[in-house]
Amino acid sequence: MTFKQRVFSGVQPTGNLHLGNYLGAIVKFVELQNNYDCIYCVVDLHAITVWQDPAELPKAIREVTAAFIACGIDPKKHIVFNQSQVAEHAELAWVFNCVARLGWLNRMTQFKEKAGKDRENASVGLYAYPTLMAADILVYRATHVPVGEDQKQHLELSRDIAQKFNNDFGKSIHAHGYGETFFPLPEPLIQGPATRVMSLRDGTKKMSKSDASDQSRINLTDDADAIALKVRRAKTDPEPLPGEEKGLAHRPEADNLVGIYAALAGTNKAAVLGQFGGGQFSTFKSALVDLAVAKLGPINAEMKKLVADAPYIDSVLADGSARAQVLAGETMKAVKDIVGFVRR
Ligand code: ATP
Ligand code: MG
């Protein structure tokens, strides 16, 4: 069975978007627009798996939407919307909760990290997060999913769920005229020099929205001065930069900064080391500040303009949701028939 090629990915409105989200995900979203039909979602249902202040959440949803557009996503040619406006995501997630096995979810490292020591007190939603993510992707029968490295395990789970659904309901899928398999096995797209951007304070920790230290990340809302200060203060080691990539082994902070530079410049680590290898960090950091400001400055300015126009952002989300719902509704009807529900 060949499926129509389609890209889906999501970003949570859980706080400040950072350079990791930008290089690991959004830059890829922008590139893929040239070759695929793309659906980009502000995943607000995922956000509430941990507490979100209802007074702040709408702002965060609009900010991620503004970031998508400011980075170059075209909401007319493609689809941009927020998850809670298309109820089929939650509906399919329930079916997938009944397909996925407890043992599969018990292996998910993101839950372990986010729940921390007080696991008994984590929300059921945080535990079931990966089945909702599978539904997000598969409700559009999407074939390609650009994500950062941290989401690889969840993508594998999505594939397992798709496969088990196809197997468990094989006869019914066939009987309803959908051929041998109903869901594609979605492929993760995790490529380039910055699939896992690390904290500027600790090269062994992922750059993340939830890190208590704002110095650990570059936010898309940071101005030039803030970017310069954070890069200059970024942790490094006393050695000069190596001339070759293998010299970055066991030097997580150096590796991270070189990867960030390579991704921002659209090149690779080897080329960056060809230029800066043997030199001091201070010289390299100055160049990195200039590059980061040149790339992020215009995005920052555009985001500011867009978030000031909430009615426009809301109209983008309404239009995107309506178009997404047409596709999701078709899938959900078929799923109901396949599972054996009686429907109107
Ligand atoms: P949270 O801490 O709330 O989970 P997050 O920063 O991980 O926030 P998400 O909305 O969960 O952001 O992820 C959005 C996308 O950004 C995903 O594709 C994820 O893989 C990617 N991503 C997140 N952090 C990084 C990072 N440090 N490096 C590269 N990609 C990242
Ligand atoms: Mg995350």
Judge contact between 186 and 145, C-beta under 8 A: yes
Average pLDDT over residues 60-72: 98
6: enclosing H helix or E strand: strand 6-11
Bridge partners of residue 11, in order along the sequence: 42
Is the Cβ atom of 83 under 6 angstroms away from ligand 1?
no
Q: How confident is the model at residue 16 (pLDDT cuts 50, 70, 90)?
A: confident
Q: How far is CA 92 from CA 131, 152, 227, 312, in A?
A: 9, 21, 41, 30
For the chain, percent of residues with pLDDT exceeding 90 = 97
DSSP secondary structure of 233-276 = HS---SSPPPSSGGGGTT-HHHHHHHHHHHHHHTS-HHHHHHHH
Pocket test for ligand 1, best of 9, 12, 21 (most atoms within 8 A of CB): 21
147 lines ligand 1 (CB under 6 A): yes
Query: Which ligand has its closest atom nearest to the C-alpha of 18?
Result: 1
Give the residues across from 145 on adjacent strands.
188
Of all protein residues, whose CA lies closest to atom 7 belonging to ligand 1?
Answer: 208
Q: Residue 48 pLDDT > 80, yes or no?
A: yes
CA distance 104 to 113: 16
Q: Token pair of 69, please?
A: 């557009």
| Nearest Cα residue to atom 13 of ligand 1 | 11
Helix, strand, coil share of the chain (percent; to 5): 60, 10, 35
Q: Exposed, middle or buried: residue 106 (CB in 10 Å: 0-12, 13-18, 19+)?
A: exposed
User: Which ligand has the shortest distance to the CA of 9?
Assistant: 1
Say yes or no: CB of residue 209 within 6 Å of ligand 1: yes
Query: Across residues 21-44, what is the average pLDDT?
Result: 98
67 lines ligand 1 (CB under 6 A): no
Rounded CA Rg of the chain = 21
CA 133 to centroid of ligand 2, rounded, Å: 12
Closest Cα to atom 18, ligand 1: which residue? 147
Instruction: Judge if the beta carbon of residue 21 lies within 6 A of ligand 1.
Output: yes
Ligand 1 neighbour 256 (Cβ under 6 A): no
What local confidence, expressed as pLDDT, does residue 68 receive? 98
Q: How far apart are CA 277 and CA 258, in angstroms?
A: 10
pLDDT tens digit sequence for 297-308: 999 999 999 999
Cα 291 to middle of ligand 1, angstroms = 22
- 240 CA from centroid of ligand 2 (Å): 33
Reading the block at residue 30, the tokens are 């922008």
Q: Which ligand is nearest to the CA of 42?
A: 1
* pLDDT given at position 174: 98
Q: Which pLDDT tens digit goes with each residue over 205-223?
A: 999 988 889 999 999 999 9
Residues belonging to the active site: 114, 206, 209
- 321 touches 73 (CB < 8 A): no
Across the range 115-142, mean pLDDT stands at 97
278 alpha carbon – ligand 2 mean position (Å): 35
Lowest mean pLDDT among 36-40, 212-216, 314-318: 212-216
> 151 CB less than 6 Å from ligand 1?
yes
The token pair that represents 122 in the structure block: 């984590």
| Residue-wise pLDDT tens digits, 161-203 | 999 999 999 999 999 999 999 999 999 999 999 999 999 999 9
Q: Residue 1 pLDDT > 80, yes or no?
A: no
* Per-residue pLDDT at 326: 98
